[in-house]
């Protein structure tokens, strides 16, 4: 008989509603599983067992599918009264006075918060190793990275801590960890999910999204979260997305494109083999495989992204000054010294480098040449995607060119960390939805790919994921390094 922690969100909710087990029993199973794996995976920054057990006292009073279901949140999502760090020393022991909208919706629906999980500091990184709290490890092989920046959120779901979690994606930070950890992750259309209460990295690029072990669970989470929020000026208004699960959905007549400019890129054999396998499945399901050319994106997207992201990071991180909240010093000889000491100690090296780059890019003498130029190129990138989606429904491509690397490999070769950029960053520049989906295993390591859709096509994108999951199978829970 399966352990309760092995249940997905849908099955766990059905079991609770049928009285097969209690919310306490479900939580205890998940908590025990988390504790047995945590010494190896190190996903948590803050464990919230006491808070969760207080929440459990009110479970069973809601008809919501989330009532009594444990979850974890990336630690850049604000939780009222619960430490929120963005994996940085500069926030110290900060406890927000308000909830992020996404957590407010889940909390009011009865979800149980098991803890806040690790990430690259201020979401800047792709290994979940740039953290003031140490590195998180891949639950399929603890010698490897789980991906970043939402590595803790992905690892917790893959290892069976919780059936679903939330992360954020500024340039691939949901899709890459989902791929490395062998689960499903959705980067929604920009504006589909409220960003209120998300600690910002790049405000025009950041988007909150879910991780889960089934596509149906992604649909359930999105059905709750995809609603207008007046607290977020970028939140959609006149959209009524329907994420209802349809197990009989099909792909007949759907046009799925491969990017012409990406065909000459080198992929490791497991990724290349997965692409060919999925192409065959799509054709068998009645989809039409086509080709799309994205010359502007392939040539300019990476430079455009970094000019914008670092400029926005420079602006967003100005607020961390040691005055209003977070880490401060009491014995500084003047404001200048206080700022220098707070920011020198509080920020890690990756964050400092991006702030410095953003400062240079937005200087009056350079702003027109770099930042303003990048905003214009971004418009061209969005237009190029829009033209492509006039004649295709989805774009199929890798998330990364290789499987999860060993811990430290990216540090030894910094360019290795940028190899995936062209597969992930353009989606954020254009505000498109991207689904990272599980395709199988190469040895013990999972292999993932991604489907990209047009703006606001999130429900259709997940429907395509349902078909692929039906053919490819669902992932197994990782062993988490536990013998």
Query: What are the residue numbers of the active site?
Result: 74, 149, 173
Helix/strand/coil (H, E, C) string of 387-444?
HHCCCCCEEEEECCCCCCCECCHHHHCHHHHHCCHHHHHHHHHHCCCEEEEEEEEECC
In sequence order, what are the beta bridge partners of 396? 451
- 176's enclosing H/E stretch is helix 175-181
- 257's enclosing H/E stretch is strand 255-259
- 56 φ/ψ angles, rounded to the nearest 5 degrees: -60, -25
Q: Are 102 and 197 in contact (CB under 8 A)?
A: yes
What is the spatial distance between Cα 446 and Cα 172, in angstroms, rounded to a whole number?
A: 17
User: By CB neighbour count within 10 A (0-12 exposed, 13-18 middle, 19+ buried), where does 206 fall?
Assistant: buried
475 secondary structure, DSSP code: P
- 81 φ/ψ angles, rounded to the nearest 5 degrees: 75, 0
Using alpha carbons, select from 392, 401, 404, 381 the residue that is nearest to residue 464.
392
What is the spatial distance between Cα 299 and Cα 301, in angstroms, rounded to a whole number?
A: 6
Q: Is the link from the previous residue into 149 a cis peptide, with omega within 30 of 0?
A: yes
Please, which residues have CB within 8 angstroms of residue 273's CB and are 6 or more apart in sequence?
none
Q: Are 118 and 181 in contact (CB under 8 A)?
A: no
Cα 409 to chain center, whole Å? 22
Please, which residues have CB within 8 angstroms of residue 368's CB and are 6 or more apart in sequence?
none
What is the spatial distance between Cα 167 and Cα 462, in angstroms, rounded to a whole number?
A: 17
Report CA-CA distances (Å) from 120 to 138, 170, 174, 378, 381. Answer: 14, 12, 12, 25, 27
Please, which residues have CB within 8 angstroms of residue 156's CB and are 6 or more apart in sequence?
34, 41, 43, 72, 117, 162, 165
What is the spatial distance between Cα 222 and Cα 244, in angstroms, rounded to a whole number?
A: 10
Q: Which residue has the tokens 């889960």?
A: 212
* Token digits of residue 173: 């930070």
């Amino acid at each position: 008989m399966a352990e309760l922690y092995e249940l997905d969100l849908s099955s766990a909710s059905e079991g609770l509603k049928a009285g097969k087990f209690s919310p306490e029993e479900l939580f205890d199973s998940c908590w025990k599983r988390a504790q047995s794996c945590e010494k190896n995976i190190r996903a948590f920054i803050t464990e919230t067992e006491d808070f969760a057990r207080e929440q459990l006292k009110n479970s069973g009073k809601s008809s919501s599918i989330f009532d009594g279901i444990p979850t974890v949140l990336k630690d850049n999502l604000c939780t009222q009264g619960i430490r929120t760090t963005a994996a940085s020393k500069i926030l110290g022991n900060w406890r927000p006075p308000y909830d992020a909208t996404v957590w407010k919706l889940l909390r009011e629906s009865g979800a149980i918060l098991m803890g806040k999980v690790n990430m690259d500091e201020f979401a800047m990184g792709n290994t979940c190793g740039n953290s003031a709290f140490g590195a998180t490890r891949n639950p399929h092989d603890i010698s490897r990275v789980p991906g970043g920046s939402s590595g803790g959120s992905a690892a917790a779901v893959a290892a069976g801590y919780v059936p679903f979690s939330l992360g954020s994606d500024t340039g691939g930070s949901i899709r890459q960890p989902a791929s490395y950890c062998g689960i499903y992750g959705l980067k929604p259309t920009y504006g589909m999910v409220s960003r209120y209460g998300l600690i910002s990295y790049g405000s025009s690029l950041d988007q909150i999204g879910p991780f889960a072990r089934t596509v149906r669970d992604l649909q359930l989470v999105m059905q709750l979260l995809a609603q207008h929020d007046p607290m977020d000026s970028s939140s959609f208004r006149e959209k009524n997305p329907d994420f209802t699960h349809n197990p009989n959905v099909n792909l007949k007549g759907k046009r799925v494109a491969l990017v012409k400019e990406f065909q000459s890129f080198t992929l490791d054999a497991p990724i290349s083999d997965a692409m060919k396998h999925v192409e065959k499945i799509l054709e068998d399901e009645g989809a039409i495989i086509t080709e799309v050319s994205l010359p502007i994106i392939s040539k300019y997207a990476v430079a455009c992204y970094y000019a914008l992201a670092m400029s926005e990071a420079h602006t967003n991180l100005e607020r961390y000054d040691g005055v209003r909240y977070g880490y401060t010093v009491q014995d500084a000889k003047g404001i200048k010294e206080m700022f220098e000491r707070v920011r020198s100690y509080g920020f890690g090296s990756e964050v400092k480098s991006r702030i410095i780059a953003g400062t240079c890019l937005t200087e009056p003498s350079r702003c027109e040449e770099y930042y303003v130029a990048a905003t214009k190129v971004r418009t061209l990138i969005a237009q190029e995607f829009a033209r492509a989606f006039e004649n295709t429904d989805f774009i199929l491509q890798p998330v990364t060119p290789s499987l999860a690397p060993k811990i430290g490999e990216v540090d030894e070769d910094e360019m290795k960390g940028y190899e995936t950029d062209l597969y992930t960053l353009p989606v954020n520049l254009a505000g498109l939805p991207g689904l990272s989906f599980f395709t199988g295993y190469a040895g013990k390591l999972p292999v993932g790919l991604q489907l990209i859709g047009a703006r606001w096509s999130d429900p259709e994108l997940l429907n395509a994921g349902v078909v692929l999951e039906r053919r490819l199978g669902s992932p197994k829970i990782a062993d988490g390094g536990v013998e």
